[in-house]
Amino acid sequence: MIKVDLSTLRYNRLNQGFTLIELMIVVVIVAVIAAIAIPSYQHFMRRAIAAQAQQEMYKIAEQLERHKLKNFTYLGFNARYLYPAPPSPRVDSFVETTQTLSLPLESSIPKYTIRIRDGGNANPLLTGTTAIGQSWVITAISGDVKNFSYLLTSTGIRCKTITPVNININPGSSTPPAKVECGAGSEDW
């Protein structure tokens, strides 16, 4: 009579592991989830940084209007007080000499570059000596070709475009269009 030890049989059956088919099914499920989740997450992140760019543009526009109420002109507006220089080693997102803000704030890899300019011909800085100070133009240019670039002006233009080279902020330019706009394929925001 052959004696079989049931505890050994049960132990061997539990330690056989997974079959190749079971592992392949798990790999396929993970691949499908990743194929759906990663693009969705990237789209969400693009929308989030675009919303931050719009928010910062509105914040600057509000402060420009406050400046004009106090001084009767936009001349001399410097956004440095909105974005004080952080202590080292953090990255300073605002460049005072060019009135340029990089987003996300304090990031070494900018996803948006916001520029504040005079609304007159040639668009000098509002802190510059050649600025007129009667209007302003704010642009937010995306570093991601899949994200919108934005234009906001004191005259009420609010537009966005996927192609940032279409944005014309110089009303006196000799190249068409000779007006401030986002160009072909743009939409309001």
Q: What are phi and psi of 174, to 5 degrees?
A: -85, -15
Mean pLDDT of 119-138: 90
Mean pLDDT of 44-61: 96
Number of domains observed in the structure of the chain: 1
Domain annotation covers residue 85? yes
For the chain, first and last CA: distance in Å? Answer: 87
In 73-182, where does DSSP find H-type helix?
none
Domain annotation covers residue 98? yes
Average pLDDT across the chain, whole number: 88
Structure tokens at 88: 């080292």
Domain annotation covers residue 13? no
Give the rounded percent of residues in the chain with a pLDDT score beyond 70. Answer: 87
Domain annotation covers residue 2? no
Mean pLDDT of 173-185: 72
Q: Residue 12 pLDDT more than 80?
A: no
**Degrees (nearest 5) of the Cα angle 75, 76, 81?**
135
| Separation of alpha carbons 69 and 100, rounded Å | 23
Q: What are phi and psi of 101, to 5 degrees?
A: -120, 130
Domain annotation covers residue 12? no
Domain annotation covers residue 121? yes
Residue 100 pairs in a beta bridge with: 95, 115
Q: Residue 172 pLDDT more than 80?
A: no
Q: Using DSSP bridges, classify how beta strands 112-118 and 100-103 pair: parallel, antiparallel or unpaired.
A: antiparallel
Domain annotation covers residue 35? yes
Mean pLDDT of 26-37: 95
Say what the pLDDT of residue 162 is.
Answer: 93
Q: Residue 136 pLDDT more than 70?
A: yes
Mean pLDDT of 21-46: 94
Mean pLDDT of 138-160: 95
Peptide bond into 177 cis (omega under 30): yes
Cα–Cα distance list, 1 to 8, 10, 42, 55 (Å): 18, 21, 67, 84
Identify the three-state secondary structure at position 153.
strand
Say what the pLDDT of residue 56 is.
Answer: 96
Identify the three-state secondary structure at position 66.
helix
Could you tell me which residue, 3 or 143, shows the higher pLDDT?
143
Domain annotation covers residue 74? yes
Say what the pLDDT of residue 179 is.
Answer: 77
Give the rounded percent of residues in the chain with a pLDDT score beyond 90. Answer: 67
Range of the domain at 37: 20-188
